[in-house]
Structure 1
Amino acid sequence: MTEIIFSKTMFAISMLALPLALVACGQAAPPGDEASTDTSSESTDTGSVEEDDSYYPLVDGATWTYVASTTTGQVLGMEVVEASEITWEGAPAWVFTDNPNDLGEWTESTIVRTGSAAMRVHKEIKDGTGTTMIVDYDPGFMRADDKWDTVGFIEEILYGRNETDGAGLNPKFEPRGHSYEVLAVNETVTVPAGTFNCIKVERIRTVGTTAGERVLFWDARGVGKVREERPAEGRVEELASVSIPGGASFP
């Protein structure tokens, strides 16, 4: 779970020691701008994706739970994300819905598979009264790409972000861009859900009002996002559990 603009339910939790499970990068089963792409190194995989071997699996009924904390270890709360398959502009897509935050707001993000990439194309912020914000991304905000298999691979993705209020009025457009660089492959990462072999990717905002913003994330094949760090915010998210129908289930 990466552009994250919503806060999560804040509450104290106690973590019991959870069993660790070693997951290979090639395991079966897991669970973020556009028009131009610049590549300084080549990748070996640009074909179609098997979701049960993806760094960002798109599977109906999948659920991920994350623990959010500060970099000093103070627990901030939890985020639960559920995936539901839909049809978007005549093609398969998946809505990722998180739990309400302390303001009673939640996010519904529409993700599509474009080649080997998972792209966010639409997002709605909602509360008990209905939709309060709508955001569209053209052609999409990259969440992960299964061609990321080589250390040093880097690309810049540009996209347009168009935001309106809940009624679709008062539009605000901003061009945006991010660079994505693969820092490591097969890196062992231990989180509450277990121990996983991951790719480590650095995402840096290159275009937009917060240019320079840096996010690090670790993804495991067949699982999805395992860990995310936002250094400027002093915030860390770690996978506490995952359940993917027909695939990964941890701890």
Structure 2
Amino acid sequence: MTKIILFPKTMFAISLLALPLALVACGQASPPGDETPTESSSSEESSDTGSVGEDGSLYPLVDGATWTYLASTSTGQILGMEIVEATEITWEGGPAWVLSDNPDDLGEWTESTIVRTGTAAARVHKEIKDASGTTMIVDYDPGFLRADDKWDTVGFIEEILYDRNETDGAGLNPKYEPRGHSYEVLAINESVTVPAGTFNCIKIERIRTVGTTAGERVLFWNAPGIGKVREERPAEGRVEELASVSIPGGANFP
């Protein structure tokens, strides 16, 4: 479910001017003594004001982390912004993280539970809420894949199947649907400039293979230690770009 807050267009024009587009390298810093340059390294001294930190995951999960995204149409019209905050919890006896966004123009927000299994991060539970409480509950078995750190080779492709179970806020009126998506790595180390800076990213194409809206195509760019940097939904004519990120002990941009 898309979450945005609508603001006057002039507010975002001013905000974007205030966001420096500093050129940054998204890979982890080289270990002490390792002078091998990365593809994004330069002989010139960097003027970056932010840092990536030690977590090189394409989907970093850290308690207290915050990502802010600017949403626009594919033609550049500003739609609003989304602020996502991470909180570490325990889920079924193991570590998990709840990603909560800000209320949209209808006063609704989403709380998604993410678990990590090996190199993969997947959403296993989601609740839609408003001022009156929970209005929708969705469970995913085994999980809706968000990112996988094994995505490191152009041309790699896999299909992930899962079950989606939806109820109302009281856990009633269940709706079951089998779903599936294919994920293909289209590029690695692709330079992407967004309001938060310029990052070297993995570019992924996700296509729904099973379920309603089969054939739906989404493109997204994730950077190591940063998370999602850009997302495009061609069918909706919608684009999301990272405006800022703050991860305790890690990324801090712009």
1:17 & 1:102 partners in 2: Cα distance? 24
Could you tell me how far apart the structure 1 residues matched to 2:91 and 2:62 are?
Answer: 15
Structure 1, residues 16-53: CA drift from partner, whole Å, max 9, x if none? Answer: 1532333334226xxxxxxxxxxxxxxxxxxxxx9711
Partner of 1:39: none
Structure 2 residues without counterparts, runs of 5 or longer: 30-52
For structure 1, list consecutive stretches of 5 or more residues without a partner in the other structure.
29-49
The two structures, once aligned, show a CA RMSD in angstroms of 1.2
Q: Secondary structure at the match of 2:17?
A: coil
Q: Matched residues in 2 for 1:112 and 1:22: separation?
A: 31
1:98 aligns with 101
Alignment of 1:221-240 (within 5 A): 221-240=224-243
Deviation at 1:214, TM superposition (A): 0.3
Q: Which runs of 4+ in 1 moved over 6 A?
A: none
Q: Is the 8 A contact 1:51 1:59 kept in 2?
A: no
Q: Which residue of 1 aligns with 2:117?
A: 114
Q: Is 1:214 paired with 2:210?
A: no
Equivalent residue for 1:145, pick from 148, 154, 157: 148
Aligned to 1:18: 19
- Superposition TM-score, scaled by structure 2 size: 0.87
Mapped partners of 2:22, 2:125: distance in 1? 34
Partner of 2:133: 130
Of 1, 5, 8, the match for 2:4:
8
Aligned residues: 226
Q: Percent identity?
A: 84
**Is the partner of 1:126 in helix, strand or coil?**
strand
Match of 1:183 in 2: 186
In 2, the alpha carbon distance for the partners of 1:82 and 1:175 equals: 29
Asked if residue 155 in structure 1 is aligned to residue 151 in structure 2, the reply is no
Q: Tell me if the contact between 1:25 and 1:186 (Cα under 8 Å) persists in the aligned partners.
A: no
Considering only CA atoms, is the larger Rg found in Structure 1 or Structure 2? 2
Q: CA offset at residue 11 of structure 1? A: 1.3
Letter in 2 for 1:147: K
How far did 1:125 drift? 0.1
What corresponds to 1:76 in structure 2? Answer: 79
CA distance in 2 between counterparts of 1:55 and 1:18 reads 23
SS of equivalent residue, structure 1 residue 108: strand
In the TM superposition, residue 228 of structure 1 has moved relative to its aligned partner by 0.1
TM-score normalised by L of structure 1: 0.88
Separation in structure 1 between the aligned mates of residue 174 and residue 234 of structure 2, nearest angstrom = 30
Q: Following the alignment from structure 1 to structure 2, what is the Cα–Cα distance between the partners of residues 152 and 249?
A: 31
2:60 aligned residue: 57
